[in-house]
């Protein structure tokens, strides 16, 4: 996934979930944050970040959107729309070993009361994929979620129901940086979501985690990481 017209700025503060104040070209600018998660360990005063220039879009209230930020010397993508695009791109390019020979791929498909990120067909096999973007990292371990997500737990449960009816189902965690060497569930933050993932795996839902290669104007899928679902 490639971004167009990227500029560098410095983070100042975040008055609410949707906007931030940054220092850009010597002036304070209000920008859109494309991520409603907390990102408290990332969006700290003085952090270097990258913005995508959206000033050409009619009717926008802000000229720029935050797409990534440095945590120490690691660039982390925080665009919540990126993971779906990155995984779809990787699937179409056969870069995910478990899902090759795809005959059809659609985005945003409804099953039950949930809208899943990707629907695919591999021959006669129908597949559903739910993608979760991960930005939380501590000591080389990535974790999800960074805030409670009732919606996420519901999606996982309905993914398990889809598998029971004959679908192939997978939950893919895309760690939006290169530093972590493994992935785990954040049991302390959201035990209900973590429990739902473990139960879904027992019912046949595949659980996968990949890191990302993040540049100032691009994010692409990296390598598959080991997963630890049980450590609490």
Phi and psi at residue 65, in whole multiples of 5°?
-125, 140
Residue 123 has a pLDDT of 87
Query: DSSP assignment, residue 42?
Result: T
CA dihedral angle for residue 167, residue 227, residue 219, residue 86, rounded to 10 degrees = 0
Q: DSSP string of 173-220? A: EEESSS--SEEEE-TTT-HHHHHHHHHHHHTT-EEEEEEEEEETTEEE
Cis amide prior to 201 (ω within 30 degrees): no
Residues 154-202 pLDDT 10s: 999 999 999 999 999 999 999 999 999 999 999 999 999 999 999 999 9
pTM for the full predicted model: 0.94
Residues 29-52 pLDDT 10s: 999 998 878 788 899 999 999 999
How much of the chain exceeds pLDDT 70, in percent?
100
Residue 3 has a pLDDT of 96
Residues 6+ apart with CB under 8 A from 182: 140, 141, 142, 209, 225, 226, 227, 228
Please name each of the domains of the chain with its CATH number.
6-77 (2.40.50.580), 82-228 (3.40.1350.60)
pLDDT at residue 231 tops 90: no
Task: Report H helices in 7-95.
Answer: 82-92
Separation between Cα atoms, residue 80 and residue 67, nearest integer Å = 9
pLDDT at residue 101 tops 90: no
| Token pair 């944050």: residue | 33
Confidence label for 26 from pLDDT (cuts 50, 70 and 90): very high
Confidence label for 84 from pLDDT (cuts 50, 70 and 90): very high
pLDDT at residue 209 tops 80: yes
Q: What is the mean pLDDT of residues 136-160?
A: 92
pLDDT at residue 232 tops 80: no
């Amino acid at each position: 996934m490639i971004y167009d017209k990227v500029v560098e700025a410095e983070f100042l503060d975040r008055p609410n979930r949707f906007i931030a104040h940054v220092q850009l070209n010597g002036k304070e600018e209000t920008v859109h944050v494309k991520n409603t998660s907390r990102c408290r360990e990332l969006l700290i005063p003085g952090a270097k970040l990258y913005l995508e220039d959206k000033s050409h879009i009619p009717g926008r209230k802000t000229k720029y959107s935050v797409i990534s930020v440095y945590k120490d010397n690691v660039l982390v993508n925080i665009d919540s729309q990126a993971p779906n695009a990155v995984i779809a791109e990787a699937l179409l390019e056969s870069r995910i070993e478990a899902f090759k020979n795809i005959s059809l791929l659609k985005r945003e498909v409804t099953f039950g009361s949930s809208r899943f990120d990707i629907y695919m067909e591999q021959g006669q096999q129908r597949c559903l994929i739910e993608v979760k973007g991960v930005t939380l990292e501590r000591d080389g371990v990535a974790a999800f979620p960074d805030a409670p997500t009732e919606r996420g737990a519901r999606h996982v449960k309905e993914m398990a129901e889809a598998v029971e009816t004959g679908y192939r189902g997978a939950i893919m965690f895309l760690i939006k940086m290169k530093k972590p060497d493994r992935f785990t569930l954040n049991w302390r933050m959201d035990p209900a979501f973590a429990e739902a993932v473990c139960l879904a795996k027992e019912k046949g839902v595949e659980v996968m985690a990949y890191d990302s290669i993040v540049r100032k104007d691009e994010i692409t899928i990296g390598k598959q990481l080991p997963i630890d679902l049980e450590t609490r």
